[in-house]
Amino acid sequence: MGTYYRSSLVLILFSLLTVNALASAQNTQKDTLNRDVILQEAHKDPQWLSIQAHLPDPTTATAAQLEMAADVLRARRFPEDAIVYYGYALQRGGDAPQLLNKMGVAELELRHPAQARAYFQRVVKIKKKNPEGWNNLGALEYMEGRYNAAISDYSRAIKLDKTSATFHSNLGTAYFDKKEFESARKEYDIALKLDPGMLQHHGTAGVTTRMLSPEDHARFCYELARLYAQRGDEEDMLRYLTMASEGGFDILTEMGGDSLLGQYRKDPRILLIVTNAKALRGNHLAQASGVPPPPLPPPVHE
Instruction: Please check the confidence at residue 294 and state whether its pLDDT lies above 70.
Output: no
Question: Residue 145: inside a domain, yes or no?
Answer: no
In this predicted model, which residue has the larger pLDDT, 279 or 1? 279
Q: Which domain holds residue 49?
A: 41-128
Q: How confident is the model at residue 220 (pLDDT cuts 50, 70, 90)?
A: confident
Task: Kindly state whether residue 48 falls inside one of the protein's structural domains.
Answer: yes
Find the distance separating the first CA and the last CA of the chain, reported in whole Å.
Answer: 92
Identify the residue with better confidence: 142 or 286.
142
Q: Which residue has the higher pLDDT, 297 or 263?
A: 263
Q: With respect to residue 142, please indicate whether it lies within any of the assigned structural domains.
A: no
Output the CA angle 147-131-64, nearest 5 degrees: 130
Q: In this predicted structure, what is the pLDDT of residue 131?
A: 95
Q: Which helix (H) or strand (E) holds 18?
A: helix 3-42
Residue range 70-83: mean pLDDT, rounded: 90
Residue 8 has pLDDT above 50, yes or no: no
**Residues 69/55, Cβ–Cβ less than 8 Å:** yes
Confirm whether 77 is domain-assigned: yes
Q: Does residue 73 belong to any structural domain of this protein?
A: yes
Q: Is residue 82 part of a domain?
A: yes
User: Is 194 a domain residue?
Assistant: no
CATH number (domain holding residue 49): 1.25.40.10
Residue 51 placed within a domain: yes
pLDDT for the residue numbered 205 = 34
Taking only the tens place, the pLDDT of each residue in 134-176 is 999 999 999 888 999 999 999 999 999 999 998 998 999 899 9
- Three-state secondary structure string covering 103-163: HHHHHHHCCCHHHHHHHHHHHHHHCCCCHHHHHHHHHHHHHCCCHHHHHHHHHHHHHHCCC
Residue 291 zone, left/alpha/beta (φ > 0; ψ -120 to 50; rest): beta
Domains contained in the chain, number = 1
Rounded to whole angstroms, what are the CA distances from 100 to 9, 104, 136? 40, 6, 11
Listed range (107-121, 122-136, 144-158, 203-217) with the worst mean pLDDT: 203-217
